[in-house]
Every structure is written in C-alpha cells, then in structure tokens.
Structure 1
C-alpha cells in the first residue's frame, strides 16, 4: 500500500522563509500557518487565518513544551497568548479554506491532540487535560478523525514528530548511562532517543530547595508522572519507572536528567557521547 503524500508550502515573505510559512495537503482543505512570535502580525493579513481553528504553541527549548487550543476567530485568539503565555517560540494554526470547522470540530480536535501529545516527549502546558471525550455521533467522529490525520501529516511535514521511528540495532550507535544506571540513548535524525526499557527516576527531593525556586523538581516530576499516566512507562517502585517505548529529545541533557533524577550535562553524562561529538567536529 502506498504511503507517499504531497504537501504544498507557500512563503508569504521570502526574507523570513524559516519563520513564516503556509502548508497544505492538496487533497484536503485543511491549511496550516507556521509562524514565530515576531511574525504573528503577518498571519492576520493572510486568507482564511481568521477562520475557526485548532492551534499549537511550541517552545524551542531543550525540554519541548506545547500548548494546544481552539479558536473561533483564528489568529486573533493566539495574539492574547503573547502576554498570557511566555514559554512558546513558534506556533502552528490549522483552519479550513471553506471554514467547515465549527465549534464541535475544533472542540474535538483540541481534545484529540491533547490526548495524542500526552503520549509523546512533549510536556503539555494545558492545565485542563480534557480526559473526557466530547459527545459525538459515529459519523462526526469518523470525519473529525480524518481531519486529525491530515493535521498530523502536516505537523510531521513541518518537522513536529509524534513518535521516533524504531531503529535497527546495527544502524545506530548506543551510549550507555554511567555506573549502575540502567539506561541508554541512541542518535537518530538529530534527536537523542532514550531507549525502551531504560529506568527513569523522580527528581531528587533536595531539588525543591534549589536556587531556581524548585522549577527543576516540578518540571521533571511532571515528566515522570506524564509518562506513567500516558502508559509510556510502568512503575517499578516509589521512585522509579521503566520506559515502555522509545522517547526522543532534542538534547542529551533531558534524558540524562530523567534517568539520574539530577541536573546533568548530557554530553558528559552519556558514555562516549562527548568523544563522538568531537570526532564529528574534526
């Protein structure tokens, strides 16, 4: 069965091609607007940007965060987040050309993607995790899942991956955690993938008193609990859990912190990783 697709990308401002773009699957009326904070005002002038929408706000930090929302007036809703939410660096807004999204559609899509991103390496900024599905009939649910599939494809086309691809052992180089820590990572497509079966730990209790005001403790406790709640890890004891799937990260430090419960320099933490980087830079 064929699995190839085509996506069209339009750059409204060629001078800012990396920070402002419009993407669309030619077989669908769903259109996505990718923008950084500095380019958000330019989205307002684009066709259909004020239609009913579901949107995603992403950080570009080492620990990737995402906020998922809905809007009946497109980009105007996101502008309010410039002051309300400081974590995000770029966003993606999805609408339909014919404004076929209605309140039911965007409500379901918000619910659907909150559940899907909860299963990934992203840390959800949503305080309401939408644990109860909207009440839809069978036909509406089928149509909206089709919409969700198109949006997932467009997110992937923009480099926002839901799951790392399983790698074959002979194709990758593994880096083990030091000492008795049972964990290892491998590199793939520029990402650092913490392997299934690795043991993650709750952050050390003393981190509550660190000079960062306890932010490290809260962040990594939230990660730990999210992996348990989304069935990506199973509890071993009161302080540790075992990953049930590979999870990718944008830096080696985040998985190092997860498996050690402490703040680490990921390049120095994983055995051989610093040496590998030096070789690549020669």
Structure 2
C-alpha cells in the first residue's frame, strides 16, 4: 500500500458548469478522468476522448437498497461503448472515463486495468459490482508494461476519490507511520463501539465517512416479519448476502468483511432490523453513547 503524499490535482470545467462535464488530472502525470452526466453524453461524444482507448466506470445506485453501484469496462472507442450502455443499462447516472495523453494507454493496458479494477473494487466492497464476469485473467504483459499500469491505476484511484467515487479506497485505511511520526487519536474517540439488541451483535468504528461495521458482527436470519415491517433492511441484508458481505452460520448472518454506512443510524438499523438512532444505540465499552464522543452532549440531550 502506497503512503499518501502531497499532489496537485487540476479540475477543468469545459463548459464552466461544475454540474456538467469535469476533467480531473494530476498535473505531473499523463492520465486524466472525464466525468460525464448521463444526460450530457452528447457533449462528451463531441470531444476527442470519445474516440480513444480507455477504461470507464458507470456509477449509480441499487433501486431497492440505494447502495452505490458500479460497472467497470474497457474499450477501444469510448464514445461508441458509452452509447451502447446508454441504450442497454438503466442503473447509471454518471460515467467516468480514464484516458491518457500521447496514447500511452493501449488496449492491452486497458484490459489489465479492467481486471485490476474489478479485483480491487470487489475486495474493498464499497460498491455493488454490476459486472457479471469478475474473475477473468489478466493479459500477459512485460514487467515494464505492468509498472506503467500500476502507476496509471494509482492515479486513477486518486482521481476517482477526488471526484467523489472512492471505489478502490478501503473503508478502514491504515498506513504505517514514518520515522519520527506518532499516531494521532482525534478527539479521544474510542476505537470500538458496540450495537446490540434483537439478536444482533455489532462492533464498529466511527470514521469521517460514517460508521464501519466490522467483520464478525452478526444479525439473526431475516424473517417474513422483518420483510413486512422493514423491507429495506431485509433487502439490504439480502443484497449483502448475495455480494459476499454476509455469510450464513446456523441461524444467524455474519459479516464477512467490514461494511461502511454513511450514518451511524443506518448502521444500527441494518443490525437491529428496525429504525434506530445511531447516536444512542452505538456505545463504547463502558456503555457511553456515541453522541457523547461526537456531539459533546449526553445521551439524554439527543
């Protein structure tokens, strides 16, 4: 895992509108990303990138669970491929394409980057993958070509996160401390919080992005009662089971990997099977509510 380091990122607005096309690049590198609202695909088709080789991502949401969803692909002609997806795929509302200047990116590079992207996105688990084939083999390439791909992938990951699509960023990212550095604990927040009840046992960490429910947490197997009273929770659990986030162990579902929720309440609701206020239900090892640590108020004040 690479250590984060200072970088200068440039975001260009071709039409002067931040809600329209955006072009993101690291000023010292050859790769750039173009973010395309689906409703403005015609504007991208008029740009030179539309005729190039590239890696592309389609972003949207699952209808039932509202989980973020992505399709990853590569093509020799980005414009033509996106037009096909505009006709054939419903879920996406924005596309992001990765291209390089000076034609550094070849179709062999693009195929390798597609496989690498699918593997990393599946391992991280932030987004539901729309791709049916996820385990395809990487194309054969020389060590020098592989080094080029590794650098391209690093830049693509940074730029995607900058644009608001952290598809490759682990939900709990940890970097080794360099010489002379010391660990910083923000606001003395406890490392672990717990959410228990209704047969559920959850452990989590509160981060800047939300609540991460840790692997090993569990909930009871969903029932017809849950499907009737909390259909979204039941659908979210079923989706998590289908995508490998949950596994069946006897009469309970156990998290196989860390799972990020945007709010502590969504995490608690997922675990408890009914709406729950996360600020109250998540507690540290001494029984103090999350609200005390992140709001500076007592549980009774919430």
TM tier, shorter chain?
A: 0.7 to 0.9
Root mean square deviation, CA, Å: 3.7
Q: Which runs of 5+ in 2 are unaligned?
A: 175-183, 283-288
Number of residues of Structure 1 aligned to a counterpart in Structure 2: 269
- Structure-2 separation of matches of 1:218 and 1:63: 11
- Structure-2 separation of matches of 1:155 and 1:171: 31
| 2:142 counterpart of 1:137 | yes
- Structure-1 separation of matches of 2:138 and 2:225: 36
Q: Which runs of 5+ in 1 are unaligned?
A: none
| 2:132 counterpart of 1:127 | yes
Q: What residue number does 2:178 align with?
A: none
Q: What residue number does 1:92 align with?
A: 96
1:13-62 deviations in Å (ceiling 9; x for gaps): 22x31342001112221110012212222112233232111111112564
1:235–1:242 contact (8 Å) kept in structure 2: no
Q: What residue number does 2:87 align with?
A: 83
Give the greater-gyration-radius structure (CA): 2
2:213–2:267 contact (8 Å) kept in structure 1: no
What is the DSSP-based 3-state SS (H/G/I as helix, E as strand, rest coil) of the residue aligned with 1:59?
strand
Residue pairs, 1:1-282, within 5 angstroms: 3-14=5-16, 16-59=17-60, 62-120=66-124, 121-161=126-166, 162-164=169-171, 165=173, 168=185, 170-172=187-189, 176-179=194-197, 181-189=200-208, 191-197=209-215, 199-201=217-219, 204=222, 206=224, 220-227=237-244, 237=250, 239-242=252-255, 244=257, 246-252=258-264, 255-256=267-268, 258-260=270-272, 262=273, 264-265=274-275, 267=277, 270-271=281-282
Structure with greater contact order relative to length (CA < 8 Å, sep ≥ 6): 1
Using a 3 Å threshold, how does the CA distance of structure 1 residues 115 and 238 change in structure 2: closer, same or farther? farther
Using a 3 Å threshold, how does the CA distance of structure 1 residues 139 and 199 change in structure 2: closer, same or farther? same
Q: TM-score, normalised by structure 2?
A: 0.72
Kindly report structure 1 stretches of 4+ aligned residues shifted beyond 6 Å. 207-212, 272-277
